Amino acid sequence: MMLFAGAVGSYRHQTVDEERFLRIEELFNKAILYEEVLSSSAYLYAWSSEASWWERYAQFHPLLDEQINFLESASDTQEEKNLAAQTKRSNDASVDMELQVVRMVDGGRPMEARGLLLEAEYQRQRADYRMGITKWHAMKAEKIRRNRFLVKYLALATMVLGFFFACVIGAIWLITIRFIRLFEGEKKLERQATMRTLDLYLHFFDATPNGLFLINAKTFLVENASSFFQKTLGYSHEDVIGKKIGDVPFFRESPEEMSCLEQLREKKEAWCDTHVIPAKDGRPLWVEGRGVRFVMDQSDMICWSLYNVTDRVQAEQELMNAKNQFESFVEKSHDAVLILQEGVLKYANCRAFEMVGYTSNELLGRSIFPLIDPRDRQMVMARYDARVKGEAVPIEYPCRVQTKDGHLIQVDIGAALVEFEGRPAVMAILRDVTVRKKVEEDLSIAHEKIEEGKKRLELALQSGKIGIWDLDLHTNQMTKISRYDEIFGYQQFQPNWDMETFFHHVHVEDRDRVKREINSALKTGTLKTQCRIVWRDGSIHWIEQVGIVVDNGDKTAKRMIGMTRDITQQAE
């Protein structure tokens, strides 16, 4: 009875170990899978900004935490607990960076988010996580295997001793059958756990624009694959499944893929950087590849993942083309274009260096505020700081800049807040207005002199009782200024004045003579006449008129300009 009870106890202990081994295997596979799902979702969200990827990330995040918590609770020895703690720290660091990526994308900074995912620190944390979970799994598996061996040995010894007294041959037969069933059950459980993980993995990749391929590491036959090669690449089931990778077109025509798959014969993991594979219709598709080698049903298998990054690559190319076009436009500009970040010059076109006389090595990476004239420096710095803080400041304003050779130039600055390399910056456009300002100053001085001359002329005309007039010979309308109306006896300005009005004021005895002299002046080009005029009060006054004829360039008379002077006192 004691031997029978010991055998039953050994059987039950072995059953518990089998269940625990299955749970450990499932934990390991899920921990690897969920971490890959989170990383893939973060990558896809950073490059596509689609909300579905963030939802998928949020869906799998608590599942991974659940597996890691179980990993800690299942640790028995201090070494296992240390590995579990290290794995949790690496996972927490990776998740923090992935959540930071989500915040960057939501904040409109996708380029900075992509850069964070490509940083070595993120890749190191992921590698530490995988190394920690793999070592922990290997340690637990080895411990369970040792326990199994001891339990099996004890069970065997107990059964041999128990059945030795009954029937040695029967005992040997029963033990043999039991061991066969145990080994078959173990293989079946391991295969079921692996297949559940692969089915979940394939199901996830079927819902994404990415591909997953299950390849035999020895024969290089493609045993299974997600629908990527059908939906995205356009190949049929017969073109891929059951074929050697050398016979699959998109593998065969991609040296990068073939090289990485060859590496997986010896390595556990392999990475393939961004490269091109052809679709069936000839379209180029940009992808990145990752592979891991594992054992399934005593066969070395390769799980090869292809990530479709075509949209990301095309967006980067469009961004690069736009950047090149912008730089080409800026370099051809006649104005200086600067980009300042944290008070330091990050970019300047050729015109900027020509304007101040410095080289790029002398200015890039340094502050340009010392080049501003001390009288304007404080104002320019204050407006720069206010603009960076988002405060309202003038878009354009003038200032003075000192060149390398000591000259002072005047510029108009136009500035705006922009984003440069993922961070806020200020783009400033400087236009050299030194010549324009000099011309404006000269014009202002000339205008002042002209105004002064006009005042002096007006004073001279008033003191000499002289009136200036301009006669249009086609319309006979006369434009007059100064004291002209006063000479004819009017204290107010007379708006309508023509030759008929003029002759109406000329004394009747002088009228015909004056007409003849004016007609003669049209031929000779000059007029000089004296005559009497009659004011409205009947008083008679003497005037002298002097004028010249102005033609159109074809010797056709157009205007006559001249002056009228009151000579009454001289005539009397």
pLDDT in tens, the chain (572 residues): 444 444 444 445 456 556 776 777 777 777 778 778 888 888 787 777 788 888 878 888 888 888 788 777 878 788 888 888 888 888 888 888 888 888 888 888 888 887 887 787 888 887 888 888 788 878 777 777 777 666 666 656 666 666 666 667 766 766 776 656 655 555 555 556 555 665 655 555 555 567 778 888 888 888 888 777 777 888 887 888 888 878 888 777 778 778 887 887 777 788 788 888 888 888 888 888 888 887 766 678 888 888 888 888 888 888 788 777 777 767 777 788 889 988 889 888 888 888 888 988 888 888 888 889 999 899 999 989 988 888 888 888 899 998 889 888 888 898 888 888 878 898 888 888 887 777 777 777 877 776 665 555 555 555 556 888 888 888 888 888 757 888 888 888 888 888 888 899 999 999 999 999 988 988 888 999 999 999 989 899 999 999 998 876 556 667 889 989 888 887 76
Distance CA 156, CA 463 (A): 143
Strand pairing report for 526-534 and 466-472: unpaired
Q: Cβ atoms within 10 A of the Cβ of 567, count?
A: 14
Quote the pLDDT of residue 156: 64
The span from the CA of 339 to the CA of 319, in Å, is 18
pLDDT (0 to 100) of residue 160 = 65
Sheet holding 284-296, edge to edge: 222-225, 211-216, 299-308, 284-296, 269-278
**What confidence tens digit (pLDDT) does each residue in 335-382 have?**
888 899 888 898 888 888 888 889 888 888 888 888 899 998 999 999
For 125, counting Cβ atoms within 10 Å of its Cβ (0-12 exposed, 13-18 middle, 19+ buried), the class is: buried
Give the model confidence (pLDDT) of 283-307 as tens digits: 888 888 888 887 766 678 888 888 8
Q: Which amino acid is at 73?
A: S
Cross-strand bridge partners of residue 275 = 287
DSSP state, residue 108: T
Q: How far apart are CA 112 and CA 116, in angstroms?
A: 6
d(CA 270, CA 304): 9
Collect all residues with Cβ–Cβ distance below 8 Å to 294 and sequence separation of at least 6.
194, 300, 301, 303
The stretches of 407-491 forming alpha helices (DSSP H) are 434-463, 484-487
406 burial (CB, 10 Å; 0-12 / 13-18 / 19+) is exposed
Q: With beta carbons less than 8 A apart as the criterion, state whether 348 and 363 touch.
A: yes
Q: Where are the alpha helices (DSSP H) in 107-211?
A: 110-117, 120-164, 168-206
- Long-range interactions of 121-125: CB distance < 8 A, separation 24+: 121/97, 122/94, 122/97, 125/90, 125/93, 125/94, 125/97
Q: Which of 15, 146, 14, 134 is nearest to 71 (CA)?
A: 134
Kindly state the tokens that stand for 147.
Answer: 């326990």
**Residue showing tokens 């005895």:** 509
* Nearest CA among 484, 469, 476 for reference residue 558: 476
Structure-token pair, residue 141: 């598996």
Q: Are 547 and 561 in contact (CB under 8 A)?
A: yes
Tens digits of residue pLDDT in 84-99: 888 888 888 888 888 8
Confidence at residue 7, expressed as pLDDT on a 0 to 100 scale: 45
Helices (H) then strands (E): counts for the chain: 19, 15
Taking the C-alpha atoms of residue 308 and residue 38, their distance in angstroms, rounded to an integer, is 16
pLDDT score recorded for residue 236 = 84
**The pLDDT of residue 450:** 65
Average of per-residue pLDDT values in the chain: 79
Reported pTM: 0.36
Tokens of 239: 């073109």
